Amino acid sequence: MKKSCFFYRKKKYSLVQNGVVTKKSPSNIALIKYWGKQKNKIQIPSNSSISYSLGKVYTVTRLIYHLRKKKKRSIRIFFSGKENTSFLPKILEFFHRISLYCSYLRDFNFVIETKNTFPHSSGIASSASSMSALALCIMEIEKKLVSSLEEDFFLRKASFLARLGSGSACRSIYPGLVVWGGHKSIKGSNNLYAIPYPYKIHPIFTKMGDTILVIDEYPKKILSSKGHQLMIHNPYAKERFRCAKKNMDRLISILKMGDLQEFGELIEHEALTLHAMIMTSYPYFLWMKPNTLHVLYKVWDFRKQSKKNIYFTLDAGANVHLLYPIQEIVSIRKWIYSDLFSYCKKIIESFCQ
């Protein structure tokens, strides 16, 4: 039997009523990046990835469901209190993809009310936190319909569903370090849903500061789904996937040993490789802005002079995440506000745990 069959939910329910569920879910920052999907498969990554779920930076979603009387289904989306139709195609596609696994959804019309704790237009990708919050809401409905649903299954299926909405969203279901994508050295890792990182982590990595420097508030980025597609013809893609695999093995040993310097080198290399992939795709694209580069050079200089453990990683955009041991927050915060503030539109203090 295919592994995805475990998640089928086909039978009819008698106990179907109107209701409301509310869930929150964090954004996450990848250390080893997911970039590239397997051809002709739905949301299957080309390499395994690992991320930290973030504190303070999350989406809260309220899902209101009404029994459907008319044939045509209605889904309305409200973002921070205002109706937003631009997300509708993505949500409809999501509902279509998960219909096989959540047949009960066909019985309802939905109103989705969602808000983020991070500021609007901060350039922080919200698809991970919003898709995972929505997947959790859907599982909360399933829980009401099915008499016994174990916690493990609840989270695993939520991650499975979230993945079908947005790949990185499947990692936001769990706190801490989370792995998605099958990797031979990580027990239980697989392409269908994420799992909490199952091995020993040195205490230095159990809570890290993550200060997000918002450099571009309104990124005109290419959609990540389009970006992933470009990997199909990227001449360096094969080497990238090989490198990601090797980096995962390296990270497992770094996380165990607590080697911060190696950790920093690895995450910076991953971030720059992600950007190299979009620069060498066709059509090519540049996510960094001049201020991104200023910040990266500043980080390198500061690290050399102060010997502080502060490292950057990047998402698919111009913004910079600075990661450092939480114990060093006071001096690092002081430096960020004195030396980096002028390059940023906003600064968001978060943490990884």
Alpha-carbon distance of 125 to 168, in angstroms, equals 10
Backbone angles phi, psi at 55, to 5 degrees: -85, 155
Which residues lie below 8 Å from residue 2, measured CB to CB, with a gap of 6+? none
User: Which stretch, 224-232, 237-245, 279-287, 293-301, contacts ligand DP6 (CB under 6 A)?
Assistant: 224-232
Site for ligand DP6, residues 330 to 349, rule: CB under 6 A: none
Least Cβ distance, residue 99 to ligand DP6 (angstroms):
19
Query: How many amino acids of this chain bind ligand DP6 (CB under 6 A)?
Result: 16
* Shortest distance, position 168 Cβ to ligand DP6, whole Å: 3
Residue nearest to ligand DP6 (CB): 167
Tokens of 64: 């209101």
Give the Å distances, CA to CA, from 124 to 127, 149, 217, 351.
Answer: 9, 34, 8, 15
Q: Which of 52, 315, 336, 340 binds ligand DP6 (CB under 6 A)?
A: 315
> What tokens appear for 144 in the block?
């009401």
**Cα dist. 159→24, 194, 344 in Å?**
14, 6, 33
Q: What is the C-alpha end-to-end distance of the chain, expressed in Å?
A: 36
Q: Are strands 75-79 and 108-116 parallel, antiparallel or unpaired?
A: parallel
Which residues are within 8 A (CB) of 342 and not within 5 positions of it... i.e. 6 or more apart?
A: none
Which residue in the set 74, 84, 185, 225 belongs to the binding site for ligand DP6 (CB under 6 A)? 225
Q: How far is the CB of 63 from ligand DP6 (least distance, A)?
A: 20
The CB-of-308 to ligand DP6 minimum distance in angstroms stands at 26
Q: In terms of CB distance, is 194 or 252 closer to ligand DP6? A: 194
Shortest distance (Å) from residue 187 CB to ligand DP6:
21
Q: What distance in Å separates the CA atoms of residue 193 and residue 268, rounded to the nearest whole number?
A: 26
Contact range with ligand DP6 by CB under 6 A, out of 55-63, 223-231, 300-308, 321-329: 223-231
| Contacting ligand DP6 within 84-123 (CB under 6 A) | none
Site string for ligand DP6, 20-59 (x = CB under 6 A): ----------x--xxx-------x-----x----------
- Which residues does 229 contact at the CB level (< 8 Å), separation at least 6? 37
Integer Cα distance of 74 and 231 in angstroms: 35
Residue 101 CB, nearest approach to ligand DP6 (Å): 17
Which residues here bind ligand DP6, judged by CB under 6 A? 30, 33-35, 43, 49, 127, 166-168, 224-225, 228, 274, 315-316
